[in-house]
């Protein structure tokens, strides 16, 4: 039987919870997960009560007990956080970082050891096993570490392996991606309200429309633009609506959004390097 890894989460926010929710629904027993955060004990109690995971306020203790350390704090907090448990990091640990923008080399430097690091970019759909996660290896990580990280993230969705420099793009696209979809839904809900639909009716219609379109994208061999054209009758309602989106440069806005998110990922990595110099 495969070894049951003990996993210490350092950081217990939105992303950690999404992973914990997904992981405890599948391969992991709650007692394999030890969760720590900066100081919020109520948050730890909530996670213990909701998922049955163990919580720990002593990060050194959590790290010592674990085989895998998952870094899940904000990028700006990683240096201070790792300083709290650096003496407990061993070279036989596997560190998995989900931090946006932060290079594996920066994590190795903060660990002050030749420790294997896997950098991952999941998204919050991990909570329901639907994350799109990309991972890449740091300089001391090998194929075995990759396999461990891959199987961990496969419990919460799809996993793809990319070269590390591509993780900035991945972060902008699929790490932040759920927020772009939620933003669209928010706009659709506002519109529905303004054109007089009752909110419950609108919600279920919007939800089914998004799910239906996503399933079409998944199962149809057609390009998204072909699927769009099938909805767009000449001189019909969709064409009239899309003309407005074009006037507002909707596609250009989305492209600019994703490019700016990618730039921000690069900035976050550089800000950490500047902070730790
Ligand atoms: N929220 C998302 O959709 C995604 C987030 N990420 C990455 O995940 C990381 C966490 O993001 P969120 O969960 O959204 O943030 P969050 O703000 O919800 O959670 C951050 C957590 O870090 C903890 N923390 C801060 N300083 C600490 C310290 N010194 N020691 C231990 N814990 C400490 C906080 O107590 C909190 O539990 C970020 O680096 C982000 O780039 C990656 C993919 C998606
Ligand atoms: O907004 C952020 O920085 C994080 C990374 C990807 C999603 N949330």
pLDDT of 2 strictly over 90: no
Taking the C-alpha atoms of residue 198 and residue 165, their distance in angstroms, rounded to an integer, is 46
Long-range CB pairs of 110-116 (<8 Å, 24+ gap) are 110/78, 110/79, 110/82, 110/83, 110/86, 110/276, 111/82, 111/86, 112/86, 113/89, 114/140, 115/89, 115/90, 115/91, 115/140, 116/91, 116/140, 116/141, 116/142, 116/145
Question: Do 99 and 73 form a contact (C-beta atoms < 8 A)?
Answer: yes
Q: Is 75 annotated as a binding residue?
A: yes
Return mean pLDDT, the chain.
97
Taking the C-alpha atoms of residue 34 and residue 7, their distance in angstroms, rounded to an integer, is 6
48-97 pLDDT per residue, tens: 999 999 999 999 999 999 999 999 999 999 999 999 999 999 999 999 99
Distance in Å, CA 100 to ligand 2 centroid: 6
Largest CA distance in the chain: 68
Closest-lying ligand 1 atom to the alpha carbon of residue 179: 3
Q: What's the pTM value of the predicted model, to 2 decimals?
A: 0.97
206-232 pLDDT per residue, tens: 999 999 999 999 999 999 999 999 999
Q: Is the ipTM here above 0.95?
A: yes
Pocket test for ligand 2, best of 14, 15, 76 (most atoms within 8 A of CB): 15
101-121 pLDDT per residue, tens: 999 999 999 999 999 999 999
Superfamily of domain 177-258: ProC C-terminal domain-like (1.10.3730.10)
Q: Is 15 annotated as a binding residue?
A: yes
pLDDT of 135 strictly over 70: yes
Domains of the chain, by residue range, sit at: 7-167, 177-258
Q: Where are the beta strands (DSSP E) in 111-265?
A: 117-121, 131-137, 157-161
Strand partners, 137: 118
Taking the C-alpha atoms of residue 171 and residue 146, their distance in angstroms, rounded to an integer, is 19
- Ligand 2 atom 3: residue of nearest CA: 100
- Give the Å distances, CA to CA, from 76 to 10, 15, 62, 72, 85: 14, 16, 21, 11, 17
- Ligand 2 atom 8: residue of nearest CA: 176
Q: Is 73 annotated as a binding residue?
A: yes
Split at pLDDT 50, 70, 90, the class of 3 is: low
Split at pLDDT 50, 70, 90, the class of 277 is: confident
pLDDT of 6 strictly over 60: yes
pLDDT of 1 strictly over 60: no
The DSSP code for 67 is S
pLDDT of 123 strictly over 90: yes
Q: What does the pLDDT read at residue 101?
A: 98
Please state which of the four CATH numbers 3.40.50.720, 3.40.50.620, 1.10.260.40, 3.50.30.30 is assigned to the domain occupying 7-167: 3.40.50.720
173-199 pLDDT per residue, tens: 999 999 999 999 999 999 999 999 999
Taking the C-alpha atoms of residue 34 and residue 62, their distance in angstroms, rounded to an integer, is 6
Pocket test for ligand 1, best of 8, 9, 13, 123 (most atoms within 8 A of CB): 13
Taking the C-alpha atoms of residue 185 and residue 210, their distance in angstroms, rounded to an integer, is 9
């Amino acid at each position: 039987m495969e070894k049951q890894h003990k996993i210490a989460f350092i950081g217990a926010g939105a992303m950690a919870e999404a992973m914990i929710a997904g992981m405890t629904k599948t391969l992991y027993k709650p007692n394999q997960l030890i969760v720590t955060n900066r100081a919020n004990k109520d948050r730890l109690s909530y996670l213990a009560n909701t998922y049955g995971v163990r919580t720990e306020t002593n990060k050194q203790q959590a790290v010592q007990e674990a085989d895998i350390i998952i870094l899940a704090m904000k990028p700006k907090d990683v240096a201070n956080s790792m300083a709290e448990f650096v003496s407990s990091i061993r070279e036989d640990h596997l560190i998995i970082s989900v931090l946006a923008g932060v290079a594996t080399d920066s994590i190795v430097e903060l660990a002050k050891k030749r420790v294997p690091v896997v950098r991952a970019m999941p998204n919050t759909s991990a909570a329901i096993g639907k994350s799109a996660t990309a991972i890449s290896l740091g300089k001391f990580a090998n194929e075995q570490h990759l396999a461990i990280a891959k199987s961990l993230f496969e419990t919460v969705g799809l996993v793809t392996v990319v070269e590390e420099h591509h993780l900035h793009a991945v972060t902008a696209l699929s790490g932040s991606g759920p927020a772009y979809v939620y933003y669209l839904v928010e706009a659709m809900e506002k519109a529905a309200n303004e054109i007089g639909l009752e909110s419950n009716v609108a919600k279920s219609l919007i939800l089914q429309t998004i799910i239906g379109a996503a399933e079409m994208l998944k199962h149809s061999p057609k390009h998204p633009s072909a699927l769009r054209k099938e909805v767009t009758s000449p001189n019909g309602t969709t064409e009239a609506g899309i003309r407005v989106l074009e006037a507002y440069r909707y596609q250009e806005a989305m492209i600019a959004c994703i490019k700016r998110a990618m730039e921000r990922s690069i900035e976050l990595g550089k800000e950490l390097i500047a902070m730790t110099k």
